[in-house]
Structure formats: structure tokens, C-alpha cells
Chains A and B, each alone.
Chain A
Amino acid sequence: MNTSDETTLLERFKSRISAGEKIEPKDWMPERYRKQLIRMISQHAHSEVVGMLPEGNWITRAPSLRRKISLLAKVQDEAGHGMYLYSAAETLGVDRRELIEQLLSGQAKYSHIFNYPTLNWADIGVIGWFVDGAAIVNQTMLAKCSYGPYSRANLRICKEENFHKRQGYEIVATMAAGTTEQREMVQDAVNRWWWPSLMMFGPSDNESPNSAELLRWKVKLHSNDELRQRFVDLTVPQAQAVNITLPDSELRYDKKTQHWNFGKINWEEFWNVVKGNGPCNRERMAARQKADNDGAWVREAAVAYTMKQRMNR
């Protein structure tokens, strides 16, 4: 293809994007658009999969059968979300195995939030409320993104996330209305998860290298800061409703802007966790590698069985 063809295609691509059209797998797209999407969708998929670990940690110790079946169903949903997303990434011409290998080798990233430990049952409530709550804000936007398969995967995900958030908030509300010890436990979990949850939206836009390009291509429709603000505005009244204090002395409602102002985020902590030095990075990677190795014989057996069936036919 010569450069003038390429320019025409690029112009047409841009005008389709600005007309709000969805781009589908076989459509022409700039190489950068494809690369950025593969990076973003696979990171998102890895996050769903690694995200099962902190919560899976509490399935066997859930305080009642009702809590246990909910948590089990929620964690299973997260596996499903990972599958929807790998499926969307594959429409861009990458192989799922390749993406999984990138996760296992440490080459690919996943959300930094899953490198924090779940110390007690209250953490499960707070994760559903904050972490799934933040994910909903992000995924609601992504359900409207310009790439068809990614948009559809997020639509499917969003339909399931509300249960995740509600089951978490129910745990929080129950504990917040419980004994002094339970109240303290849930407040402590809130204190530990609040700031890392705010970091989930990523660094401020002027420091986020990919933001401008992703916004231009409508892969993202709002900036990281806008999404973070939306999450804070949604969450503060929910905390007030159950007498939970968010650990930020600068949290103030601004009547003029109708937003909650909040304090400074410790980005040093964020980058430290992203670079692999969070409390659980090594543990998470080891768990994924073990799961992959332990499951290898099952995949091999399934393929061997199929081969044998074909030969017998």
C-alpha cells in the first residue's frame, strides 16, 4: 500500500470515529489503534483473572452459606469477564495463549489494585463496593468505546457488575451496623482500600502517556480524572449512608462545582506497586503460574482425546 492510500484510509477512519461509528475487526484501522487496543484489552482481561485471587482467598472462610454462594458466583463472573475480554482481544489478530504467556512472564500488566492483601472478611465487602464500583464507572464508559467487540464485551460485563457491587455494599452495611468490633473491622478495611481504589483510574491525564491518543480515537470517552471524580461523587453519599468515614481530611463538597473535592493521591505508592513492589505482586504471579502449570495436563488430555476421536472416525 502506498502512502497516499494510507492517508485516505486514515482520513476515512478518523471521520468514522468522529461520526460515532463502531470499528469492527475486519475494518481498516491504524496500527497504533490496534496495538493500543490489544494492550488495553489484554491488561483488562488479566486484571479480571488476577482479580479472582484476593477474593478467592476468602471463599472457604465466608461467614455464612449465603455469603459463600454469592462470593463464589462473583468470582466465577470475574473469570467470565476475563474470557469475554480475551475473546475481544483475539479479534485484533492476537492469540490468547500469547497474551497469557505475556502475563505469566511478567511482561504484561494488570490492575495494581490486586496486589493488595485481603486481611479479613471486611475486605471482601469493601472490594465489592470500591473496586467493583470503580470498575463499573470505567466499564460503563468502555461499553460506549469505538471498537465494536470491546464495547460489546463491556456491555455484557456491566450487566453483571451491579450484583458484585451490591453484595459488597451489603457486607459493609451489615458490619457497619454490627458490634463495635465489626464496625472497627470494616472501617479499617475502608481505610486501607480507599486510596488504592482512587488510583485504579490511573495517573492524572497530563501524566498519562496514552490518554490523549485513546481519547482522540474514542477508545476512552472521559479522562482518568473525570472518571475518578465520578467515582468519588458516587461513593461519598454511600459511605455517609452507613456511617463510614472515608480516610481523607480534605474531602469537602463544593457547592459551585457540585463535586466532592478530595486530597492528594500518593502516586509514588502507585508506581511502586505497578513496578512489582506491592505487598502481593510475587504471590499473585506465583499463583497464576501454578494454576497454568497445574492445568496443563487437562488441556493436553483434551487435545489428545480429540485427535484420537478424529483418527477413529
Chain B
Amino acid sequence: MATKDMFGEGELWEVFIQKETGAPHEHAGSIHAADSELALQNARDVFARRGEVVSLWVVPANCITASSPDDSGPFFDPADDKIYRHPQFYHVPKAVKGM
């Protein structure tokens, strides 16, 4: 049976906006739409009403895999004890400039 609920509001899409060329695309929020074309149009109407956006990405929300905050400690740990990846780790004679 085709009920109104079955169609709902369409699929959930995450929206990423770029505010000027050269800037990264940033997550702005989400919208609902039946397909990618409508998703782009809805995203434009919701997140780009004032011309402050030069590019839009829409991604089906279920295509995004995110790290989990529960294991964010252990997951990002490997980077913690690698101080030799930072320039401060290396000693340079004081008199040397431009290092």
C-alpha cells in the first residue's frame, strides 16, 4: 500500500559548501530529496540564499562512514607519541636563521 509516510521527505543528504574558490568544502547541514538533482536544488535553496556560496556538494548520508567517539582515544593515539613529526623536535644552533 502506498501511504504518504512511505514517501516521507525523501532520502537524507549531507550538504557541503565552499564559500570562495580555494577554500575547503565545509559541512553545512543536511536536506531531504528524492534524487541528487533535487538534492542540489534543495541544498541551494536552504544553504545558499545569499550568494555566499560558490560550490555545493551533496552526499547521501548513508554513504558517509565516520570515526566513533567511543574509540576516538585509541583510534587517534598512534599520532600522539610521534613528537618527531613536529619541527620543535629538532635542535638547531641558535644563531641559525630561517629554519
Decide: B7 and A83 in contact? CB cutoff 8 A: no
Cβ-defined contact, B45 with A80, below 8 A: yes
CB distance B34 to A96 under 8 Å? no
Q: Are A302 and B69 in contact (CB under 8 A)?
A: no
Interface residue count for B (Cβ, 8 Å)? Answer: 26
Contacts of A188 in B (CB 8 A): none
- Across the interface, A96 reaches (CB within 8 A) one of B4, B9, B45, B50, namely B9
Excluding A160-B49, A306-B34, 11 further A-B contacts by CB distance (< 8 Å) are A26-B66, A83-B46, A90-B12, A90-B30, A96-B8, A96-B9, A97-B8, A156-B29, A296-B7, A299-B7, A303-B7
Residues on the A chain within 8 Å of B4, using CB: 296, 300
- Is A254 part of the contact surface with B, judged by Cβ < 8 Å? no
Please tell me if the beta carbons of B34 and A303 are within 8 angstroms of each other in the complex: yes
Of all chain A residues, the one with the shortest Cβ separation from B46 is: A83
A153 and B29 contact, CB distance less than 8 A: yes
Interface of B is mostly: mixed
B contacts, CB < 8 Å to A: 2, 4-5, 7-10, 12, 28-35, 38, 45-47, 49-50, 66, 68-70
Q: Is A312 an interface residue (CB 8 A)?
A: no
Partner of A77, one of B35, B49, B70: B49
Max chain B C-beta neighbours (<10 A), residue from A27, A83, A100, A156: A83
Which chain B residues lie closer than 8 Å to A271 at the CB level?
A: none
Q: Does residue A169 face the partner (Cβ distance < 8 Å to B)?
A: no
A205 CB-CB contact with B under 8 Å: no
Can you list, as one digit per residue, whether each of A86-97 has a CB less than 8 Å from chain B (1) or not (0)?
011010000111
- How many cross-chain pairs have Cβ atoms below 8 Å apart between A and B? 64
Please judge, given known A-B contacts A97-B9, A299-B7, A302-B35, whether A26 and B69 are in contact too, CB under 8 Å.
Answer: yes
Residues of B within 8 A of A149 (CB): 29
Closest to B14 in A: A87
Q: In angstroms, how far is the closest chain A Cβ from the Cβ of B85?
A: 26
Q: How far, in angstroms, from A264 to B75 measured CA to CA in the complex?
A: 56
Closest chain-A Cβ to B61's Cβ sits at a distance in Å of: 9
Contact among B10, B45, B47, B50 for A302, CB-based, below 8 A: B10
In the A-B complex, the 9 residue pairs with the smallest Cβ-Cβ separation, listed nearest first, are A302-B34, A87-B29, A97-B8, A306-B35, A306-B34, A87-B30, A83-B46, A303-B7, A27-B69
Q: Which residues of A are in contact with B by a Cβ distance under 8 Å?
A: 24, 26-28, 73, 76-77, 80, 83-84, 87-88, 90, 95-97, 100-101, 149, 152-153, 156, 160, 296, 299-300, 302-303, 305-306, 309
- Cα A24 to Cα B27 in complex, Å, equals 14
Cβ 8 A contact of A84, one of B10, B12, B29, B38: B29
Which chain A residues border B9 with CB–CB below 8 Å?
Answer: 96-97, 100, 299
Residues of B within 8 A of A101 (CB): 5
Interface centre among A95, A153, A160, A306 (most CB of B within 10 A): A306
Cβ–Cβ contact B32 & A96, under 8 A: yes
Q: Which partner residue on chain B sits nearest A23 by CB separation? A: B69
| Inter-subunit contact A80/B46 (CB<8 Å) | yes
Cβ of A28 and Cβ of B69 under 8 Å apart? yes
| Residues in B whose Cβ lies below 8 Å from that of A300 | 2, 4, 7
- In the complex, 24 of the A-B residue pairs with CB atoms within 8 angstroms, ordered by the A residue number, are A26-B68, A26-B69, A28-B70, A83-B31, A83-B46, A84-B29, A87-B29, A88-B29, A90-B12, A95-B8, A96-B8, A96-B9, A97-B8, A100-B9, A149-B29, A153-B29, A156-B28, A160-B49, A160-B50, A296-B4, A296-B7, A302-B10, A302-B35, A303-B10
| Least CB separation from B38: chain A residue | A302
Q: How far is the CB of B67 from chain A (nearest CB, A)?
A: 9
